[in-house]
A and B are shown apart, each in its own frame.
Chain A
C-alpha cells in the first residue's frame, strides 16, 4: 500500500478491531461492569425461562414460524404492504442505506420537519440516520433512556438491546453533570427524572416520530414496538408524521404469532415476561380518533439482507429478532465490549451477518471467536450462529494466500505418518506456538517421547 495515499490514513476495520479489542481485553474496570450487568441479566433470564412450561418447544416453534416466513418472504412482504395501504399508511422500499436516508429526508422536506423524536431502533443506526438528519438541519432526539445517554455522549450503542450496558450509574451522573449541570451524586431515579423532563418537551415539539419495528405483522399490516419507558407510544402518537424503518426480515405472518414472539423477545432480551409497553401501530389517525399521526410511513429496508436470503446455508440468520441474548452469552463480547466491533450489530450475530451486509472488509470478525457455541445455545429462534462463523471463515479463506499456503503445507505434512513424526519432533524441540501465545502464558514442558514412541516401545 502506498503510505502517502489518503486511504492509508483510514485504518482498515480489522486493524481498528485488533487495536480496540486488545485494549478493551485488558480493561479490568470494563470487565467488572460487564460481568456485573450481564450477571444480573443472566439471573433475570433464568427466572424468565423458568416461567415457560417448555422453553425448547417455544424456541422450536419460533424457529419454524420464522423459517416459513423467511422462505416465503416475497409473499409476506406483499401481504404486509397491501394491508398497510388498506389501513391508510404508505410503504416505501429501500434497497440500501442511502435510499432509506433519502426517503426519510424527502419526507422531512415535504412536511417541513425541524425536529424528529426517535424510538430506539438499530435499523436507523444501521443507516446512520442521525448524522444524515443533522446534516440536513433536522434535530434527531433519541428518546429511549439508553439511547438518550448515547446521544449525550456522542457514542454509538454498546449493545443492541441495552445501549449503555458498559456504564455505571456514576458515569451516567458524570455525563448528566457535564451536559445539564446536575449533581454528581444524583440517584438513578433523579437521573431518569431529568431525562423525562427534558424529553417531555421534545415529544411535544417534534414534527416527526421515527421508530423501528420489532415485528411487522403481515396479516394486519401493523408494526409491533417493544419498549420499557413508554417513549415509543409518545413518539408514534404525538408528532404529525410517523416513519417506521424496518429490515425486511422483521415479518411475522399473523397477529396471533405475537403471543409467542413478544414474550420470547422480552424473556431473551431482558428476562421480562413482557416489556412494560407492547405497542401495535395500525396506521395513521382515523376520523374520529383523538390522537395519532396524520401520516404513517413504513420503509422496508434491504441493505444486504437479500444477500443472506440468497444464501441457503445462512438464510436462518434472517430469523433474528435482535434480542441480544447471543451477545450476553458470548465470552468474546464480554471481554472486548460492543464498541470494539466497529459495527452496528455486535457480538456473534454481528460477526455472522456483517461480512454479508457490509462486505469483506469485516471478514476478520468471524475469526475473533473461540467457537464455544454459547451463542447458538441461547438463540431463541435457533440460528446456528457459531457454525455460521465457520462458514464465513470458509468463505473468506481463499483471500488469504499465505495462510492458505501454510495450511496446504500442513495438510501435506499430516498426510504422511513419516512427515508428521518428523514435524512433531521439530515442534516439540522448537515450541509449538509463536510469541503471541507465550507473551502472556507459559507452555508445558515438552515430553521426551511422543505417545506413538511409547506405544511402539511397549
Chain B
C-alpha cells in the first residue's frame, strides 16, 4: 500500500510535533509514508469564507499532488472533511483521504498500536470529524488500548469548542464564550489531558485553559499513540 501523509498547513507551521507523532505511529505499524513536499493547504479557509473559486484552485492542486497513492492520511478531521465532503461541492473528485484515527481503525483494522501513556485524559469530539465524517468510536477504541491511560468522558464532549476558523476572529466574544463552556466541561472531569483529532480545536481550548491557568494539557491523539 502506497501511503502519503497530508500535513495541514496549520499543523505544519504550529504543531509539527503532531505530524511527527503520526509518522512515528505509522512507521511502528510497518507503513513507510511519503510526504509529497509540494503540499500546502486543503483550501478550507477560502471555502468556509465563501471564496469557492480560490478554494477550487487549491482542491485541484491537492488532487494533482496526491494522485497515485492508495491512501492519504491526515491528522485532522477538519481538513479530511474538507477533502472528502466539500471537494465534491466544488466539482472536484477527491483522492482517498483518511483521518488518522479512522485510517488506523477502519483501513488497517488496528486498535492497539503498542502505546503507553500514564494519565487521565478526556476526549473532545471535533465537529468536522464527528458530524461530517461520523468518527465517534474510532479514537475511543484506540484510547482504550493505550496502556496506563484512563479515559473520562466530559458532559459536553460533542459541543463545539467555538473555533470555527475565521469565526473565532470575526466574532471573538461568541467564540470565547463557547470556548468557556467547553473548557469548564473539561475541567469538571478532573482530567490532566484533553485529547482531540484536531489541533485547531486544541489551540482554541488551550487558549482558554492557559489564560485561566487551568492545568489541563492539550494533546493530539497522535501524540498519545506515539508515546511508549
Given known contacts A335-B177, A414-B9, A450-B13, A393 and B48 CB-to-CB distance under 8 angstroms: yes
> Is A51 part of the contact surface with B, judged by Cβ < 8 Å?
no
One digit per residue, 1 when the CB lies within 8 angstroms of any chain A CB and 0 when it does not, for chain B 45-57 equals 1111111101101
> Is B40 part of the contact surface with A, judged by Cβ < 8 Å?
yes
* Stretch of B103-111, B115-123, B137-145, B206-214 that contacts chain A: B206-214
One digit per residue, 1 when the CB lies within 8 angstroms of any chain B CB and 0 when it does not, for chain A 430-458 equals 00111011011111101101111111100
Considering the complex, which residues of chain A in the window 147-194 have a beta carbon less than 8 Å from any beta carbon of chain B?
A: none
- Chain B hits for A415, CB < 8 A: 40, 57-58, 61
One digit per residue, 1 when the CB lies within 8 angstroms of any chain B CB and 0 when it does not, for chain A 392-424 equals 011111000001100110110011110010001
Number of residues on chain A facing chain B (CB within 8 A): 63
Closest A residue to B51 by CB, please name it.
A407
Closest B residue to A404 by CB, please name it.
B51
* Stretch of A21-29, A137-145, A275-283, A303-311 that contacts chain B: A21-29
Given known contacts A393-B50, A454-B16, A436 and B169 CB-to-CB distance under 8 angstroms: yes
B137 to chain A, nearest CB (A): 17
A335 near B174: Cβ-Cβ < 8 Å? yes
Taking a contact as CB atoms closer than 8 A, the residue among A369, A437, A442 that contacts B210 in the complex is: A442
> Is A125 part of the contact surface with B, judged by Cβ < 8 Å?
no
B174 near A368: Cβ-Cβ < 8 Å? yes
Given known contacts A26-B173, A444-B203, A452-B7, A372 and B127 CB-to-CB distance under 8 angstroms: yes
> Is B20 part of the contact surface with A, judged by Cβ < 8 Å?
yes
* Stretch of B66-74, B94-102, B156-164, B190-198 that contacts chain A: B156-164
B169 near A437: Cβ-Cβ < 8 Å? yes
* Stretch of A104-112, A233-241, A373-381 that contacts chain B: A373-381
> Is B215 part of the contact surface with A, judged by Cβ < 8 Å?
no
Taking a contact as CB atoms closer than 8 A, the residue among A35, A371, A387, A395 that contacts B167 in the complex is: A371
> Is A331 part of the contact surface with B, judged by Cβ < 8 Å?
yes
Main secondary structure of the interface of A (DSSP, over half): helix
Give CA–CA (A340, B208) in the complex, Å: 24
B12 near A450: Cβ-Cβ < 8 Å? yes
One digit per residue, 1 when the CB lies within 8 angstroms of any chain A CB and 0 when it does not, for chain B 154-186 equals 000011101110111111111111110100000
Give CA–CA (A451, B199) in the complex, Å: 14
B75 to chain A, nearest CB (A): 10
> Is A427 part of the contact surface with B, judged by Cβ < 8 Å?
yes
> Is A332 part of the contact surface with B, judged by Cβ < 8 Å?
yes
> Is A55 part of the contact surface with B, judged by Cβ < 8 Å?
no
- Chain B hits for A52, CB < 8 A: none
Taking a contact as CB atoms closer than 8 A, the residue among B11, B164, B204 that contacts A372 in the complex is: B164
> Is A82 part of the contact surface with B, judged by Cβ < 8 Å?
no
A76 to chain B, nearest CB (A): 30
A392 to chain B, nearest CB (A): 8
Taking a contact as CB atoms closer than 8 A, the residue among B14, B131, B159, B169 that contacts A434 in the complex is: B169
Given known contacts A331-B178, A441-B207, A455-B35, A367 and B170 CB-to-CB distance under 8 angstroms: yes
- Chain B hits for A369, CB < 8 A: 164, 167
Closest A residue to B78 by CB, please name it.
A371
A327 to chain B, nearest CB (A): 15
Give CA–CA (A452, B7) in the complex, Å: 9
> Is A54 part of the contact surface with B, judged by Cβ < 8 Å?
no
B196 to chain A, nearest CB (A): 14
Given known contacts A433-B169, A436-B169, A441-B179, A390 and B48 CB-to-CB distance under 8 angstroms: yes
Known: A372-B127, A437-B168, A447-B16. 10 other contacts (CB 8 A): A367-B166, A370-B175, A371-B48, A397-B50, A407-B49, A408-B51, A414-B41, A416-B40, A439-B172, A455-B19
